[in-house]
């Protein structure tokens, strides 16, 4: 009995858990360093001692990291967002639950951090909610902790905007290369990649926070101060009834407190940025376990891999295609099983056929997406005379409110039988006469006078040039000119539909780009086809070489024709011909060209006997011969 394949997520979950654990250990060390900085500096030895206040603060600060980590996991996706413009992205994502959850998570993380900070500060900092003042003064609400809360809340709003704008939920998987160099086999450890990003992270944070501390103070005293005071005052009075019923915020020395908030804002923002960076770096590691593919532990490794290739969720599918590309390049023993398994899990289907079907689906989807955009609209359906007569009858019935008479219209109608019917008929005749004779309308003089007044005012008060500008065509021209000027200004940047955005969405799909899955599918198909000459003992791959070549050639032709024929949008004012080289699309096209060239070079002498005609082989070779600068780079 054939072994049953396990779901791909069963292998992916331990892999991701291991990455999360590694990132968490690294972040816990950062939390401990921040906890030491946050504490009192009166005793140097106890300040660093982990079993004490520093360790307790580190554990509490770690909760802020866990909140942001859960946010990243809930928003995880592969591939960049593909929208026509930045404004289109803003419009699509503004009212989504992900946006609201991002703000809530960052607000809670900032509130928790501020609570830990105020808890560990000494009494001399005066961060308690009730300010007792001098002995002869009544206690009053202390505005200093309120100021800290509002400042951290504004920091949470700022970081939420940065998180959504930079799309921190995206995991950017590295793309596999055809014919990799010798030094590309071993990837850089994740810890080293995270450490390399620390200095650029600080350089990015500091300028933003220097502007934040100025704007946040202005917003606090102009917008949020009275609002926050009115919310906090009744709540604190419930805890401390000795506070007077009526009180207003007083002036306080916020300069020193602003400096402390600024330092803590740097530490908290660094923790947030470090969390997002560690999450994306550790999760973008190769799907290997102990140097082998993660599905090697399965009783049916290839069956589990195929489940991942056909998964609907982005994360398992992209990881499965990445693992397949790595298998086709680095693991000859596992690669050979793809050729030799002729009855996958008792289904009667060869593993090669299932793998090829999954890979070609990703490759041919490029042409399908382009054809759906460039296909002409379907012709209008022609109607028979009977259908046209029936439609006209329904329209007349809808307009008149009654059924259309089909009998003799010259037959006199029956006379009304009652006084009520006679009165209704006379009223209807009067209404018809008023509607059919505008001259009898008592309001017609008013309308005629208004028309003449408008004409007189237009001739006496407006010049000929102004009247021409108020004409519909001229008015629309002026609006278009001003709108073009608006789009050309820095304010119009978010509204520009750039050539790169539109081409990427058309070629690589929406709402997220499929670049990684497409490139890995091309690499896997190419490597499996090339290595089949030595490892395919049954010769099943040779039957599909023509199908692979046609799929590659069709995809190349579709991309080149679409990019060449695509006109830039009128808002793309900065477009130049060199901008037709879109980075992600160019990388896919380059991989297709290299893969097609290598396959044709390897099987070129045998293509005539592989279900390909002489003319078709010639066209493919001409397509390969038209190698541009990108082939010279490859």
Question: How much is the average pLDDT of 128-156?
Answer: 81
Q: What local confidence, expressed as pLDDT, does residue 392 receive?
A: 66
pLDDT digits (tens, 9 = 90+) for 544-567: 999 999 999 999 999 999 999 988
Q: In the chain, how long is the greatest CA-to-CA distance?
A: 114
Separation between Cα atoms, residue 309 and residue 303, nearest integer Å:
10
Task: State residue 293 phi and psi, 5-degree precision.
Answer: -60, 145
Write the CB contacts of 135 (distance below 8 Å, at least 6 apart in sequence).
none
Q: What local confidence, expressed as pLDDT, does residue 21 receive?
A: 81
Assign 453 a pLDDT band (cuts: 50, 70, 90). Answer: very low
Question: How much is the average pLDDT of 223-252?
Answer: 81
In our burial notation (b when 16+ CB lie closer than 10 A, e otherwise), range 352-379 reads bebbbebbbebbbbbbebbeeeeeeeee
Q: What local confidence, expressed as pLDDT, does residue 603 receive?
A: 85
Considering 71-75, 215-219, 565-569, 607-611, the range whose residues carry the highest mean pLDDT is: 215-219
Coil, helix or strand at residue 288: strand
Identify any residues that bridge with 102 across adjacent strands, giving them in sequence order. none
Coil, helix or strand at residue 63: helix
- Packing angle of the helix pair 545-565, 583-603 (nearest 10 deg): 150
Which of 68, 164, 59 lies closest to 107, judged by CA? Answer: 68
Separation between Cα atoms, residue 387 and residue 476, nearest integer Å:
40
Q: What is the DSSP string of 133-185?
A: -STTSPPEE-HHHHHHHHHHHHHHHHHHHHHHHHTTTEE-PPPP-SS--GGGS
Counting every residue written for the chain, the total comes to 634
Identify any residues that bridge with 131 across adjacent strands, giving them in sequence order. 140
Q: Which residue has the higher pLDDT, 150 or 387?
A: 150
Q: What is the DSSP string of 450-511?
A: HHHHHHHHHHHHS-HHHHHHTSHHHHHHHHHHHHHHHHHSGGGGGG---HHHHHHHHHH-SS
Separation between Cα atoms, residue 284 and residue 78, nearest integer Å:
10
Q: Which residue has the higher pLDDT, 437 or 527?
A: 527
Contact yes or no for 572/496 (Cβ under 8 A):
yes
- Packing angle of the helix pair 332-340, 301-309 (nearest 10 deg): 80
Q: What local confidence, expressed as pLDDT, does residue 461 receive?
A: 47
Alpha-carbon dihedral 593, 594, 596, 602, rounded to 10 degrees: 160
Separation between Cα atoms, residue 582 and residue 573, nearest integer Å:
17
Report which DSSP code applies to 345. G
Question: How far is residue 461 from each of residues 168, 381, 454, 465, 475, measured CA to CA in Å?
Answer: 59, 53, 10, 12, 18
Structural Rg of the chain based on CA atoms:
36
Coil, helix or strand at residue 292: strand
Assign 346 a pLDDT band (cuts: 50, 70, 90). Answer: low
The first and second tokens of residue 564, run together, are 């060449």
Assign 357 a pLDDT band (cuts: 50, 70, 90). Answer: very high
What SS3 string covers 247-281? CCCCCCCCHHHHHHHHHHHHHHHHHHHHHHHHHHH
Separation between Cα atoms, residue 272 and residue 292, nearest integer Å:
33
Q: Which residue has the higher pLDDT, 587 or 125?
A: 587
pTM of the predicted structure, to 2 decimals = 0.79
Separation between Cα atoms, residue 561 and residue 247, nearest integer Å:
72
Assign 449 a pLDDT band (cuts: 50, 70, 90). Answer: very low
Q: What local confidence, expressed as pLDDT, does residue 454 receive?
A: 43
Q: What local confidence, expressed as pLDDT, does residue 107 receive?
A: 95
pLDDT digits (tens, 9 = 90+) for 174-191: 888 876 554 454 567 888
Question: How much is the average pLDDT of 511-531?
Answer: 94
HSE (side-chain half, CA atoms, 13 Å) at 552: 31
Asked if residue 42 has pLDDT above 60, the reply is no
CA 189 to the chain's CA centroid: 28
Assign 528 a pLDDT band (cuts: 50, 70, 90). Answer: very high
Assign 150 a pLDDT band (cuts: 50, 70, 90). Answer: very high
Which of 267, 269, 201, 277 lies closest to 36, judged by CA? Answer: 267
Asked if residue 631 has pLDDT above 60, the reply is no
Q: Which residue has the higher pLDDT, 175 or 39?
A: 175
Residue with tokens 């306080």: 252
Asked if residue 1 has pLDDT above 60, the reply is no
Question: How far is residue 46 from each of residues 50, 51, 149, measured CA to CA in Å?
Answer: 8, 9, 29
User: Poorest-confidence range of 75-84, 179-188, 242-251, 428-437?
Assistant: 428-437
Separation between Cα atoms, residue 341 and residue 184, nearest integer Å:
30
Assign 622 a pLDDT band (cuts: 50, 70, 90). Answer: confident
Assign 633 a pLDDT band (cuts: 50, 70, 90). Answer: low
**Mean pLDDT over the full length of the chain:** 80
User: Poorest-confidence range of 9-13, 208-212, 364-368, 533-537?
Assistant: 9-13
Give the other-Cβ count within 10 Å of 65's Cβ.
22
Which of 69, 66, 65, 153 lies closest to 104, judged by CA? Answer: 153
Q: What local confidence, expressed as pLDDT, does residue 394 receive?
A: 67
Report the share of the chain in percent with pLDDT over 70: 77
Asked if residue 258 has pLDDT above 60, the reply is yes
Specify the pairing of strand 77-78 against strand 170-171. Answer: parallel
Coil, helix or strand at residue 16: helix
User: Poorest-confidence range of 90-99, 109-118, 154-163, 426-435?
Assistant: 426-435
Considering 113-122, 220-229, 603-612, the range whose residues carry the highest mean pLDDT is: 220-229
For 39-142, where are the alpha helices, taking DSSP H only?
44-48, 53-74, 86-93, 97-120
Q: What local confidence, expressed as pLDDT, does residue 234 receive?
A: 84
Separation between Cα atoms, residue 124 and residue 254, nearest integer Å:
15
HSE (side-chain half, CA atoms, 13 Å) at 519: 22
Q: Which residue has the higher pLDDT, 625 or 449?
A: 625
Report the share of the chain in percent with pLDDT over 90: 30
């Amino acid at each position: 009995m054939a072994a049953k394949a396990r779901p791909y997520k069963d292998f992916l979950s331990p892999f991701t858990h291991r990455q999360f654990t590694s990132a968490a250990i690294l972040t816990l060390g950062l939390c401990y360093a921040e906890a030491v900085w946050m504490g009192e500096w009166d005793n140097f030895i106890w300040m660093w001692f982990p079993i004490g206040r520093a360790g307790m603060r580190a554990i509490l600060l770690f909760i802020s990291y866990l909140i942001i980590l859960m946010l990243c996991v809930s928003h995880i996706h592969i591939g960049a967002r593909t929208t026509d413009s930045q404004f289109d992205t803003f419009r699509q994502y503004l009212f989504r639950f992900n946006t609201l959850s991002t703000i809530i998570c960052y607000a809670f993380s900032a509130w928790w951090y501020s609570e830990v900070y105020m808890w560990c500060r000494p009494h001399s900092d005066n961060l308690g909610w009730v300010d007792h003042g001098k002995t002869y003064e009544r206690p009053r609400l202390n505005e200093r902790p309120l100021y800290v809360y509002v400042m951290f809340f504004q920091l949470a709003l700022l970081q939420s905007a940065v998180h959504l704008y930079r799309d921190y939920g995206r995991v950017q998987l590295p793309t596999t290369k055809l014919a990799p160099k010798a030094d590309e086999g071993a990837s850089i450890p994740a810890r080293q990649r995270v450490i390399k990003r620390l200095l650029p992270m600080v350089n990015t944070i500091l300028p933003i926070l220097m502007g934040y501390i100025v704007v946040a103070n202005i917003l606090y005293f102009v917008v949020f101060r009275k609002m926050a005071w009115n919310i906090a005052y009744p709540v604190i009075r419930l805890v401390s009834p000795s506070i007077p019923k009526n009180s207003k915020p007083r002036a306080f020395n916020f300069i020193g407190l602003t400096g402390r908030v600024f330092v803590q804002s740097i530490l908290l923002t660094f923790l947030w940025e470090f969390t997002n960076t560690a999450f994306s770096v550790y999760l973008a590691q190769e799907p290997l376990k102990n140097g082998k593919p993660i599905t090697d532990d399965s009783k049916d490794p290839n069956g589990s891999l195929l489940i991942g290739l056909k998964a609907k969720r982005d994360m398992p599918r992209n990881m499965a295609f990445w693992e397949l590309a790595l298998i086709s390049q680095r693991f000859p023993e596992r690669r050979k099983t793809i050729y030799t398994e002729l009855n996958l899990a008792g289904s009667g289907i060869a593993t090669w056929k299932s793998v090829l079907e999954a890979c070609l689906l990703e490759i041919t989807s490029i042409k399908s997406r382009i054809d759906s955009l460039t296909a002409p609209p379907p012709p209008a359906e022609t109607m028979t005379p009977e259908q046209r007569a029936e439609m006209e009858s329904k329209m007349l019935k809808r307009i008149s409110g009654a059924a259309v008479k089909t009998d003799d219209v010259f037959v006199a109608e029956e006379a009304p039988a009652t006084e009520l019917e006679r009165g209704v008929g006379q009223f209807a005749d009067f209404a018809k006469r008023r509607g059919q004779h505008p001259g009898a309308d008592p309001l017609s003089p008013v309308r005629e006078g208004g028309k003449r007044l408008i004409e007189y005012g237009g001739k006496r008060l407006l010049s000929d040039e102004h009247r021409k500008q108020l004409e519909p065509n001229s008015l629309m021209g002026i609006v278009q000119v001003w709108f073009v000027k608006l789009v050309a200004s820095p304010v119009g940047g978010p509204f520009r539909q750039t050539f790169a955005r539109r081409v990427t969405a058309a070629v690589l799909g929406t709402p997220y780009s499929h670049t990684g899955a497409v490139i890995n599918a091309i690499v896997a198909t190419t490597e499996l086809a090339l290595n089949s000459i030595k490892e395919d003992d049954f010769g099943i791959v040779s039957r599909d070489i023509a199908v692979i070549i046609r799929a590659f050639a069709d995809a190349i032709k579709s991309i080149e024709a679409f990019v060449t024929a695509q006109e830039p949008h009128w808002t793309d004012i900065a477009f130049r011909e060199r901008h037709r080289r879109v980075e992600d699309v160019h990388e896919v096209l380059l991989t297709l060209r290299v893969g097609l060239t290598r396959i044709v070079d390897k099987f070129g002498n045998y293509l005539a006997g592989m279900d390909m005609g002489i003319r078709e082989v010639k066209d493919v070779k001409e397509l390969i011969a038209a190698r541009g600068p990108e082939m010279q780079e490859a």
